[in-house]
Chains A and B, each alone.
Chain A
Amino acid sequence: MKDAEIIQKIEQGDESALDYLYQKYYRMMTQMVLKNNGTIEEAEDIYQDALVVFWEKVSSKNLELTSKISTYIYSICRNLWLKELDRKKRFANPEYVKEGGEEMDFDQQERIKAVRQCIAALGETCQKVLTLYYFDGISMKEIAERMGFSNADTAKTKKYKCKKALDKKVLETYKASDFMD
């Protein structure tokens, strides 16, 4: 599969393109982490994260690729791994924890976890519409096409209702969990 074809598939929401990329560059990307003090689990984790970043960029059409896909993904892997090494280094430093950085992250993580629980409680269609809009960043017209809605207005209405339902659930959860203090 050529790069242009992969990009086209991702833009159309075809997740099989992601599988293809994962297999194709698995060795190249994981070797980079392995050769830089990483474990195989870390290498796979970084590579998977990098592909998700790539998907997000391509899907939302926020990417003007001036290199080969492999080069671009490699650079994401490299950056993610450097970031991870830096995180490890900082985490190993007790001063960092005392400064409260980790505590803040933990609080944010807890809130995101709560939001995800609310998302999971939504219907499948709502989950799909909202993630297509907010993560994949695609237009209402494209959402309508992918989800089989009659037109963009129908998709917009659906998205509005789903979002309101999610807002309500999250607000209730936050109040119950004292996240609003």
Chain B
Amino acid sequence: MAHNDYIEKLDDYFRGNLSNEEVKKIEELMNQDAGFKQEVDLQRDIIEGLKAQRRAELKQRLKQVKVTPPKSTGNWLMPSLIGGGLALGGLALFFGLDLQDTPEQVSNESVVVDTTPKEDANANQEVPESSTVIIAETEDTNELAESLAVVTEEPASAAEPKNEVVTPKVPVMPTLPDENGDELPTFDDNVESEIPTISKEQVEQTGIIPTIEKKRNRFHYKYDGEHLTLVGDFSKDTPTVYELSYNKDVLYLNYDKAFYEIHNTGKLTKLVKVNDPQVIKALQQK
């Protein structure tokens, strides 16, 4: 068989489709003929290059895949905006938010964090991501919330917010059992209640979000991968949520000098303190 015939067989040689005899012949030729060996080396490089190209493509694809929780990114904005001292820029953005497009579940004493990316309908352009914080609190489940504040962080290119009164409609969570109650209620999405209105001027003049005194300390949360709702009296400190890059299945709530785990349970869950010193250390470094 001529050298050229063996060159034509190199594809099969590299794929391992040749008989032992043919493989042996090719290896003999490589030892005897430098030109043939050069051709084999060239073909090997080309095939390796093609494989490397495809591997790089697939790997690049994987780099784009979002791992859970898919829409959270590092330290979240938020809670520092909760109890008092809101930045005016953030306040201005609050009133541009269309709550109708992002229905939230708000408890009687709750903080809702929404990390769902939103599009700026007015500007008709892509808005990468925004974070929303809603605080709605009532003294009783059946009473209307006495305060509401929503803050969104959006790119500078977003349209100027309108100076208007907002009256969002949000579902209300049913009454919670006692702290020691084993059975926790689920959210009823069908129940809606009007939250009292609050104007931009009102918030700008005072610089703080009006809050009410809580009667009970209900230390629970609900997290469904996109919306986080804290239930209870979080007035002592500013709650902040973190995630660790190596474990995105769990979020961590920092409140009153302690860290609590937040899992995507989709239902009302009691906050449990983090005890692992390594995790605490990693969180404290954030």
Which A residues are within 8 Å of any B CB, using their own CB?
A: 15, 18-19, 22-23, 26-27, 30-31, 34, 40, 43-44, 48-49, 51-52, 55-56, 111-112, 114-116, 118-120, 127, 130-131, 134-137, 166-167, 170-171, 174, 180
Contacts and interface: CB of A to CB of B under 8 A. Distances in A.
A167 B39 CA distance: 10
Given A48-B59, A52-B58, A30 B53 contact: no
B68 A23 contact: yes
Contact of A111 (B45, B54, B57): B45
Interface of B: 15, 38, 42-43, 45-59, 61-63, 65-68, 245-249
Given A18-B62, A52-B59, A40 B53 contact: no
Query: For chain A, what secondary structure do more than half of its interface residues adopt (helix, strand, loop), or is it mixed?
Result: helix
A15 to B, nearest CB: 6
A84 B54 CA distance: 21
A174 B46 CA distance: 11
B48 A112 contact: yes
B285 to A, nearest CB: 14
Nearest to B16: A62
5 contacts: A22-B65, A23-B66, A51-B62, A118-B49, A135-B55
B42 A15 contact: no
A15 B58 CA distance: 8
Contacts of A22: 62, 65, 67
> Which of B52, B53, B57, B61 lies at the interface centre, i.e. has the most chain A CB atoms within 10 A of its CB?
B53
A166 B52 CA distance: 15
